[in-house]
Amino acid sequence: MIDQGLAGAIVAVTFLVCTFLLASVPTGLVVTALWTNLDIRSAGSGNPGATNVYRLAGRTMGIVTLVGDVLKGLVPAILSHWVIGGSWGVSATILVAFLGHCYSPYLSFRGGKGVATGVGGFLAAAPLASLIAVGAWVGVVAWTRKSSLAALVALGVLLATLALLPPARAYVPVAAVVAVLMLWRHRDNIRRLLAGTEGRL
């Protein structure tokens, strides 16, 4: 018989691999391929995320992509409470889903910026902190019409809120890792923001 600890490890690894593969599915590319003739990889920013889909294919497609990307983080993080358990299990799931979205094997390990998928994961782990961060994102978008700036502000708000709320502090380490990766993936946006050339929604 398989040792109980080994069996649990096998289940956890299998779950994380499945999470990575499912989160790697490029929602924006699938959505636009099903309903339009547009290949978003060769237009606009070339990014398969919701912002590029919104700009190129319209509000409905953008919203569908956004919801799909959020669910890629939210559903696995919810399930991980039962499949793996513990804040470390949820943290690992959030990180794996984020990495799957950003570095999809179906797109030669390229992908989106990870904002929506990261939000989905943290909504399952720390709902209050995540909703505050989402509120910050909405406010900045409404004020500036710049999705990248809103994402960066929301990221800072999320980190601060997680640190200030005792039940959510367990997720500060994974949030810090996601923050570093997200900053790296937004490096071109940051340059354009500093130069005043970043596009608006």
Distance of alpha carbon 168 from alpha carbon 174, whole angstroms? 11
147-164 and 127-144 helices cross at what angle (nearest 10)? 150
Contact between 49 and 116 under an 8 Å Cβ cutoff? The reply is yes
Residue 32 phi/psi, 5-degree rounding, is: -70, -30
DSSP state of 68: H
**Is it the case that residue 1 has pLDDT exceeding 70?**
no
Tell me the per-residue pLDDT of 74-112, one tens digit each, with 9 for 90 and over.
999 999 999 998 899 999 999 999 999 999 999 989 888
Confidence of residue 2 (pLDDT cuts 50, 70, 90): low
Give percent of the chain with pLDDT exceeding 90: 68
pLDDT confidence of residue 47: 76
Contact between 19 and 100 under an 8 Å Cβ cutoff? The reply is yes
Distance of alpha carbon 161 from alpha carbon 185, whole angstroms? 22
Regarding pTM above 0.85, the answer is yes
Would you put residue 113 in left (φ > 0), alpha (ψ -120 to 50) or beta?
Answer: alpha
**Is it the case that residue 58 has pLDDT exceeding 60?**
yes
Residues β-bridged to residue 110: 104
